[in-house]
Amino acid sequence: MTSADSSFGNRGYKGQEQLPPSSGSRWPRLRSHMLLLAGFVIGTGAGTLVEVFYPDHPLTSQLLIWFVRPIEQIFLGTLFLLIVPLLFSAIVSGVARAYGNVGMPGLVFTTLAYMLAVSASAAVIGLAMANLFRPGDGIPLEIGQQLLGARSQSLPQSLLGLAPALRSINGVVAGMVILSFTIGGILPLVRRHNRRRLLTACETLYAIGMRILALVTMFAPLAVACFMFDLAVMFGWNLLLYLSAYVGVVIAALALQIVLSFFAVVWMRGEMSPFAFLRCVHEAALIAFSTSSSNATLPTALKVAETDLHLPDKVVRPVLGMGTVANQSGTTIYVAVTVLFVGQFFGMDLTLDRQALVFVVATLAGMGTIGVPAGGLPIVATLLTLTGLPPEGIGLVIGVDRLLDMFRTLVNVVGDLAIAVAITHQSVAATEEPSPVSRDMR
């Protein structure tokens, strides 16, 4: 048996339907992965060439307006349409199954405890990296003034218009999660034949949603190419050069979160090799990176958890459902680093009590930030005001927000899956069933 098989492999957990190996061995999955990677490389390369040689050409804007961005919106819109049916059916059926096996209160408490710990560790990492490397000290004042001036006129109106829409999206998702958990928790008290009907309907709805997702992901390489092309053309590499220290600190902090927090959770609590874990979750990670939306990645994350990691749906569905609104540790790091970066740029270092405030707000933000693109901007703007920093300082980083949003969304989704692995192992140990993850995978 290979190392991948000796991890979660095709054995699955007791009580879960065994899934057959992929047809045609590994070639279809390898082909899908390579197509996504090819779309990523082609889109980035083409966008960079256009930005360097034809930045102001009329055809560039026409290409973005009439071809690239419509494909982006159609792909994202279809994924968002799948959120409600998949979220509802996954949580209701998962909670109903977990109620009699794992214990619903214990599952919710354990999940929230993991998410709070992960968010707190992310805040510590973000603050430590920003204090250690001080990325705001290296930007020339004239460059900073140019960045602020380029964004100052439209920024306040943009944030004012963005906040209500983000609150609306977050309210819908949070309300759906609460409603689904309530129905799933009450369902075991309903008469058996009625309970079976609803569970059957939820399973059917979930299967239909996953089939639609399979059709949508056929066009994922094209969508990924469009996302990366748009990103490369939009901000260019000069802006990235000016903010390279800030971008580097954020990305390094996100990488540390994966290595120090998620790998520790997967290895020590889930008893799974971190490398086997990464091999299994690469598809969800790439979709998260491309779409910059945890909510839009939820359907793919559910598919990866059940078909690649072979985690039981009674644990995966509630945990990932909660993760859409309560586990955004990548955003926590982004918020912490950005606030300190703005303070360093303006020569206003935050005192220990102000940094403690940043820690608390960033940690809580990681457990309730909207899982959509630009969802962290309102939190940053709020914290700048609370800590006495100039609110217009957000204009320094808004040009690279989309790029960093891609990285932090990847961290958010990988964190959800890591917690699902750990909780699954705990639930198996609690029922005294043999764990499918062997120690030798370490």
Confidence at residue 140, expressed as pLDDT on a 0 to 100 scale: 66
pLDDT band for position 43 (cuts 50, 70, 90): confident
What are the pLDDT digits (tens) for 311-327? 988 788 888 888 876 77
The answer to whether residue 10 sits within a structural domain is no
The answer to whether residue 6 sits within a structural domain is no
The answer to whether residue 19 sits within a structural domain is no
Tell me which residue of 433, 408, 414 sits closest to 265, measured CA to CA: 414
The CA-atom distances, in angstroms, between 247 and each of 201, 221, 261 are 46, 26, 21
Confidence at residue 146, expressed as pLDDT on a 0 to 100 scale: 56
315/427 Cα distance (integer angstroms): 8
Residues in the chain: 442
Confidence at residue 17, expressed as pLDDT on a 0 to 100 scale: 41
314 vs 27: which has the higher pLDDT: 314
The answer to whether residue 241 sits within a structural domain is yes
369/123 Cα distance (integer angstroms): 14
Q: Which of 156-160, 262-266, 299-303 has the lowest mean pLDDT?
A: 156-160
Confidence at residue 82, expressed as pLDDT on a 0 to 100 scale: 77
What are the pLDDT digits (tens) for 51-88? 888 777 888 888 888 888 888 888 877 777 777 787 78
11/62 Cα distance (integer angstroms): 51
pLDDT band for position 240 (cuts 50, 70, 90): low
Residues 6+ apart with CB under 8 A from 57: 50
Are the C-beta atoms of residues 313 and 93 closer than 8 Å to each other? yes
- In this predicted structure, the answer to whether residue 357 has a pLDDT above a threshold of 70 is yes
Domain of residue 128 covers: 24-441
The answer to whether residue 2 sits within a structural domain is no
The rounded mean pLDDT for the chain is 76
The answer to whether residue 130 sits within a structural domain is yes
Number of domains in the chain: 1
The answer to whether residue 9 sits within a structural domain is no
The answer to whether residue 65 sits within a structural domain is yes
CATH code where residue 48 lies: 1.10.3860.10
Residues 6+ apart with CB under 8 A from 239: 147, 399, 400
- In this predicted structure, the answer to whether residue 373 has a pLDDT above a threshold of 60 is no
